[in-house]
Chains A and B, each alone.
Chain A
Amino acid sequence: MGIKENKETVRRYIEEVLAGDYSHATELMHEEFIGQNKNIHSIEEHEAFFKKRRELAPDLKNNLKEMIAEGDKVVTISVITVTDSSGYAGHPPTNKKLEIKNMAVYTLKDGKIAKGEVLSDSLNMFQQLGFYPPLPEEK
């Protein structure tokens, strides 16, 4: 598979699977899919994890900004937008609209996504939620 096909697979994964449509998940994700950060080891675990997340955050959206690819890897830069309508992990909802920067590296195998490594700006997310104060300037 070329990088054009790999990018298309990742774009569809983000726009379909991450939006909750698993009807083509087995075409886009490898059966041995690993989600490194969330400790996910199969498509089923992926679906269960994100189903729960969508219940808590129904308007969560991964907005793709940039994509580059080489060999069997595709890198994405995106901004996650989500309203804190249910409250984070037991906290009362703030109803704030959050924007979370996100970068991911996907490794493809046989034209399907076999591994995802994601880095999000979690510190900034917690600051937007008001759990951590903004940091003072270092003196």
Chain B
Amino acid sequence: MGIEENKEVVRRFQERLDRGDVSVIDELMTDNCIFHATDMGIDSFKEDIKQRQGSRALSEQTITILDMIAEGDKVFARCVRKAKHTGKSGLFPNISPTGKETSVSHFVLYRLEGGKIAEAWTLMNWLGLFQQIGALPPTEEIRK
């Protein structure tokens, strides 16, 4: 597989996941895919995705790839995740929906093996997201 084919796999993976098509995990990830950000196995990843789709806190979720950089068997994507804060989160039961549009950076690096994702490193700006919905205080308030 060349880097253009690998990029196409990652693009398809993100797009279908974005649409809520969970079957793409079985199709485009290897059975023993390794997740470095969270040290989770593929079964917990699937569970995590299902939970996120059932999230009552965020709706109209989209993920847009702004930039893709590939070399050898690896593909990096710089993405932005947008959503609307329209429900209560199980994580922050005291925070009422604000109706706010949230927007945070999400960086992912995948290693591919025979056209499937075999290893994933991801980093998302959770702090920014939780601050945007008012669940955690802004960084300026932490400064004394």
Q: Per-position contact with B for A37-80: 1 when CB-CB < 8 Å, else 0?
A: 00000000000000000000000000000101111011101000
Chain A residues with CB below 8 A from B76, complex form: 68, 75, 105
Q: Is the CB of A101 within 8 A of B144?
A: no
Give the distance in Å from the alpha carbon of A75 to the alpha carbon of B72 in the complex. 13
User: Considering only CB atoms, which chain A residue lies closest to B108 in the complex?
Assistant: A103
Q: Is the CB of A103 within 8 A of B125?
A: no
Contact of A138 among B51, B109, B121 (CB under 8 A): B51
Contacts known (A89-B142, A138-B51); A105 close to B125, Cβ less than 8 A: no
Q: Is the CB of B71 within 8 A of A3?
A: yes
Give the distance in Å from the alpha carbon of A126 to the alpha carbon of B71 in the complex. 33
Contact of A66 among B89, B105, B109, B130 (CB under 8 A): B109
Please report the number of residue pairs spanning A and B whose Cβ atoms sit closer than 8 angstroms.
73
Q: Is the CB of B123 within 8 A of A101?
A: yes
- A26 in the interface (beta carbon within 8 A): no
Give the distance in Å from the alpha carbon of A96 to the alpha carbon of B32 in the complex. 34
Q: Give the B-binding residues of A (Cβ under 8 A).
A: 3, 66, 68-71, 73-75, 77, 88-91, 101-103, 105, 117, 119-123, 126, 131-132, 135-136, 138-139
Q: Known contacts A70-B71, A88-B143, A123-B136; can you find 17 more A-B pairs with CB under 8 A? A: A66-B109, A68-B70, A68-B71, A68-B74, A70-B3, A71-B69, A73-B67, A73-B69, A75-B109, A88-B142, A91-B142, A105-B67, A105-B76, A117-B78, A120-B123, A122-B125, A139-B90
